[in-house]
């Protein structure tokens, strides 16, 4: 059962497609309490209540005990002192003694979730303004509530089968020959590969829908060359449009008045990779269509995959903020002989605060349907509508293509148009554990085509860390090795034990038929692909507190090793299962295990896969690409 409560005058996010009739405020029950100013909803927690949800966020699978803020943020590093990441997914599920309760706060600005942090026994949801919709969902179980919520928000985006192939990416592939080398070295080492990603280096001065003419002189021929080897090319598309006379896209947007405005009605000037830039007003349908049709630049050349980036939107600075900071820093020259520690910290903080300043997000505007609205109040919809811009025109500009698109920034609703990846993680073992926490919580919010940057984007990976990371990623729909410029090159052919990496990739391709079937089933039936065992076995009190094991589809459970130098791990089985310790699709051991606690030894080259009681492990034949799968 779903109840909808409307407070104030909400902006229609279009997250919910078929809204139920609104209930009167007086009907708000289920232990929920509304504050006098209507910005805050609170709920008393029992000792053993578990809270799932919030999609892409930090901390555990159970979100209890921390504060979360849903304001899409360009977080280069995922540290535990951060409140927000790139996506805002405002659904939570409370599982406890009083039953199951789902809460969706449909507000596209800042929402703060205090989930037993200030008071360990109280959950509080606070919207920045009392203009939001609250959906209260009840059911017999948590899984039933998730299905009901997923029905409300609409079917998830369905990626093509080829998108389950392995992809290699790096910030730093600058030209055709760099990409040719990646493909060649995979093939000469018999390493399966389906995709190579083109980061910002391919562009002409970081301008969207352009190519560096020296690095990619005959792009269509190059795309055809790659396609002949079953390799898909996926260019990065950023949100900001470079201000440059003669750049046709910039000039078209100026002519048609398509960019976000400052408080004076002038184009809001900010900076990202291109330098001084403007931001398309994606909340306007005509702007979305204009931007979406630009993807034809690539689809006409045969490109069938894209990743949208920097679309929180990330602000390196605003022109106004840069001038203010420059003025403040200018005083430093007068203090070189008298600078004290606190003044030094002030100047450092002033410079560090230049990017993504809250004041900047409050200083520009959108004009959907001719109505002016300040950006921070609809901030979380920006990346959502950028993904929508492309998705809505693909059938028109590339009707014969099976097109892949995924995004960095997101809000519930964008799950219908694109997948997501979890942003700029790091080469840390803790970030292997993090993706285990994120996967089911993202699924609850409609995101099924998901994955993390395998091996870590920032910092320097090691051979063993990359193996352990791949042992998780080989189960995720998006399986992409990606890292930053300046970090250790982490293509798997650069490491000593290529045989072990080849075995992992062969196992991935053997699993693709099962994974893709489970993925499609999860879309069609509005259920989880990755399920916490506490939700699957709600009567099992021990299962409720397991944070690092997941059911994958209906048949399998994974319990990866994610600690440095660990030779194994503890596992809790909520039922009898069969353990396969797999070095490859053909090299494995099989052990029957009873319900309960076990310590399992897992070699660095082994993948533990648990098969549920009455189910079986079904593997296809490995292949060098998804095009060759039987």
φ and ψ at 178, to 5 degrees? -60, -45
Per residue in 584-630, pLDDT (tens digit) is 999 999 999 999 999 999 999 999 999 999 999 999 999 999 999 98
Residue 556 placed within a domain: yes
H-state helical runs in 137-218: 142-153, 176-188
C-alpha distances out from residue 544 to 303, 448, 578, 582, Å: 44, 23, 21, 27
Q: Are strands 419-421 and 450-451 parallel, antiparallel or unpaired?
A: parallel
Q: Which of 156, 624, 46, 28 lies closest to 412 in space, CA to CA?
A: 156
Q: Are strands 232-238 and 195-198 parallel, antiparallel or unpaired?
A: parallel
Q: How many domains does the chain have?
A: 3
Per residue in 135-167, pLDDT (tens digit) is 999 999 999 999 999 999 999 999 999 999 999
Between 22-36, 327-341, 609-623, the lowest mean confidence (pLDDT) is in 327-341
Per residue in 299-312, pLDDT (tens digit) is 999 999 999 999 99
pLDDT band at residue 546 under the 50/70/90 scheme: very high
Residue 258 placed within a domain: no
| Residues paired with residue 601 on neighbouring β-strands, in sequence order | 568
pLDDT tops 90 at residue 332: no
Distance CA 451, CA 515 (A): 13
CB contact at 8 A, 206 and 243? no
Q: What is the pLDDT averaged over residues 409-414?
A: 98
Between 75-84, 90-99, 147-156, the lowest mean confidence (pLDDT) is in 75-84
Between 258-262, 328-332, 407-411, the lowest mean confidence (pLDDT) is in 328-332
DSSP assignment of 558-586: E----STT-SEEEEEESS-EEEEEESSSS
Residue 49 placed within a domain: yes
Mark which of 119, 153, 187 sits at the end of a domain: 153
H-state helical runs in 201-284: 219-227, 248-256
Q: And the tokens for 425?
A: 């993680």
What single DSSP character describes residue 373? E
CB contact at 8 A, 22 and 5? yes
Cα 53 versus chain centre, distance: 14
pLDDT at 224: 98
- Of all residues in the chain, the percent with pLDDT exceeding 90 is 95
pLDDT tops 90 at residue 335: no
Distance CA 89, CA 445 (A): 6
pLDDT at 451: 98
pLDDT band at residue 76 under the 50/70/90 scheme: confident
CB contact at 8 A, 312 and 86? yes
CATH classification of the domain holding 121: 2.60.40.1760
Q: And the tokens for 124?
A: 């509080």
CB contact at 8 A, 101 and 53? no
Q: And the tokens for 35?
A: 């504050």
Distance CA 454, CA 456 (A): 5
Residue 495 placed within a domain: no
CB contact at 8 A, 271 and 290? no
Residue 393 placed within a domain: no
CB contact at 8 A, 447 and 86? no
CATH classification of the domain holding 583: 2.60.40.4040
Q: Which of 507, 505, 458, 452 lies closest to 480 in space, CA to CA?
A: 452
pLDDT tops 90 at residue 347: no
SS3 250: helix
Q: 271: part of which helix (H) or strand (E)?
A: strand 270-272
Q: And the tokens for 562?
A: 């994610």
pLDDT at 266: 98
Residue 214 placed within a domain: no
pLDDT tops 90 at residue 234: yes
SS3 4: strand
CB atoms closer than 10 angstroms to residue 396: 11
Residue 592 placed within a domain: yes
Mean pLDDT, the chain, whole residue set: 97
Cα torsion for 270, 272, 276, 282, to the nearest 10°?
Answer: -60
Residue 334 placed within a domain: yes
Ranges of beta strands (E only) in 91-240 are: 91-96, 99-106, 111-115, 122-127, 132-139, 166-168, 195-198, 232-238
pLDDT tops 90 at residue 331: no
SS3 498: helix
**Burial of residue 301, with CB atoms counted within 10 A of its CB: 0-12 exposed, 13-18 middle, 19 or more buried:** middle
pLDDT at 584: 94
Q: And the tokens for 347?
A: 């100047």
pLDDT tops 90 at residue 75: no
CB contact at 8 A, 145 and 137? yes
Query: What is the domain extent for residue 328?
Result: 321-354
Measured at the alpha carbon of residue 116, what is the angle toward residues 113 and 118, in degrees to the nearest 5?
85
pLDDT tops 90 at residue 77: no
Mark which of 134, 153, 172 sits at the end of a domain: 153
User: Residue by residue, what is the 3-state secondary structure of 376-416?
Assistant: HHCHHHHHHHHHHHHHCCHHHHCCCCCCEEEECCEECCHHH
pLDDT at 306: 98
CB contact at 8 A, 332 and 339? yes
Peptide bond into 313 cis (omega under 30): yes
Q: Which residues contact 346 (CB under 8 A, 6 or more apart)?
A: none
Please count the CA atoms within 13 angstroms of the CA of 537 that sit on its side-chain side. Answer: 20
Length of the chain as a residue count: 630
Cα 459 versus chain centre, distance: 20
pLDDT band at residue 494 under the 50/70/90 scheme: very high
Distance CA 9, CA 237 (A): 34
Per residue in 428-486, pLDDT (tens digit) is 999 999 999 999 999 999 999 999 999 999 999 999 999 999 999 999 999 999 999 99
CB contact at 8 A, 569 and 563? yes
Q: In what order do the strands lie in the sheet with 275-278?
A: 241-242, 275-278, 270-272, 317-318
| Residues paired with residue 552 on neighbouring β-strands, in sequence order | 530, 556
* pTM of the predicted protein model: 0.97
Per residue in 107-140, pLDDT (tens digit) is 999 999 999 999 999 999 999 999 999 999 999 9
Gyration radius from the chain CA atoms:
24
pLDDT at 155: 98
Q: In what order do the strands lie in the sheet with 373-374?
A: 261-262, 364-366, 373-374
Distance CA 247, CA 210 (A): 10
SS3 344: helix
C-alpha distances out from residue 353 to 70, 106, 310, 350, 360, Å: 19, 29, 18, 5, 11
């Amino acid at each position: 059962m779903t109840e909808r409560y409307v407070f104030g005058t909400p902006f229609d996010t279009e997250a919910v497609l078929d809204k139920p009739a609104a209930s009167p405020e007086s009907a708000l029950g289920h232990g929920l309490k509304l504050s006098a100013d209507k910005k805050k909803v609170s709920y008393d927690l029992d000792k053993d209540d578990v809270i799932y949800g919030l999609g892409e966020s930090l901390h555990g699978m159970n979100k209890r005990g921390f504060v979360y803020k849903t304001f899409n943020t360009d977080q280069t590093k995922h540290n535990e002192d951060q409140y927000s990441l790139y996506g805002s997914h405002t659904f939570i599920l409370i599982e406890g003694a009083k039953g199951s309760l789902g809460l969706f706060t449909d507000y596209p600005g800042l929402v703060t979730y205090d989930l037993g942090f200030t008071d360990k026994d109280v959950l509080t949801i606070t919207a920045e303004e009392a203009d939001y919709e609250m959906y209260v969902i009840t059911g017999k179980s948590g899984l039933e509530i998730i299905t009901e919520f997923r029905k409300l928000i609409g079917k998830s985006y369905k990626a093509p089968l080829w998108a389950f192939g392995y992809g290699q990416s790096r910030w730093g592939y600058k030209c055709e020959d760099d990409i040719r080398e990646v493909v060649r070295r995979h093939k000469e080492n018999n390493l399966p590969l389906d995709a190579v990603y083109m980061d910002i280096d391919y562009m002409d001065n970081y301008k969207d829908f352009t190519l560096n003419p020296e690095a990619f002189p005959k792009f269509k021929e190059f795309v055809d060359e790659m396609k002949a080897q079953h390799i898909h090319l996926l260019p990065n598309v950023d949100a900001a449009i470079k201000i440059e006379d003669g750049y046709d896209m910039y000039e078209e947007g100026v002519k048609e008045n398509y960019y976000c405005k400052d408080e004076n009605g002038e184009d809001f000037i900010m900076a990202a990779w291109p330098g001084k830039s403007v931001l398309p007003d994606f909340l306007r349908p005509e702007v979305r269509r204009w931007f979406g049709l630009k993807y034809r630049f690539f689809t006409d050349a045969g490109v069938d995959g894209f990743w949208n980036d920097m679309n929180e939107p990330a602000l390196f600075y605003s022109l106004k903020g840069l001038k203010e900071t420059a003025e403040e820093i200018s005083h430093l020259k007068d203090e070189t002989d008298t600078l004290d520690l606190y003044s030094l910290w002030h100047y450092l903080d002033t410079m560090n605060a230049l990017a993504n300043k809250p004041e900047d997000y409050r200083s520009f505007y959108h004009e959907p349907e001719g109505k002016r609205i300040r950006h921070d109040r609809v901030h979380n919809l920006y990346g959502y509508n950028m993904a929508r811009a492309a998705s809505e025109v693909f059938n028109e500009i590339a009707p014969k293509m099976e097109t892949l698109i995924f995004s960095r920034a997101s809000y519930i609703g964008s799950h219908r148009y694109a997948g997501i990846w979890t942003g700029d993680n790091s080469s840390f073992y803790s970030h292997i554990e993090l993706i285990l926490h994120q996967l089911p919580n993202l699924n609850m919010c409609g995101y099924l085509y998901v994955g993390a940057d395998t091996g870590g984007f920032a910092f320097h990976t090691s051979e063993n860390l990359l193996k352990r990371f791949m042992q998780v990623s080989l189960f995720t729909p998006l399986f992409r090795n990606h890292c930053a410029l300046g970090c250790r090159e982490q293509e798997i052919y650069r490491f000593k034990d290529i045989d072990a990496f080849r075995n992992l990739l062969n196992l991935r391709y053997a699993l693709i038929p099962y994974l893709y079937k489970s993925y499609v089933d999860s879309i069609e039936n509005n259920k989880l692909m990755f399920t916490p065992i506490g939700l699957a076995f709600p009567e099992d009190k021990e299962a409720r507190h397991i944070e690092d094991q997941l059911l994958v589809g209906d048949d399998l459970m994974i319990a990866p090793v994610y600690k440095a130098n660990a030779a194994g791990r503890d596992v809790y089985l909520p039922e009898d299962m069969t353990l396969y310790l797999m070095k490859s699709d053909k090299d494995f051991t099989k052990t029957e295990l009873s319900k309960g606690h076990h310590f399992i030894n897992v070699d660095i080259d082994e993948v533990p896969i648990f098969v549920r009681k009455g189910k079986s492990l079904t593997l296809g034949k490995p292949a060098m690409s998804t095009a060759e799968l039987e």
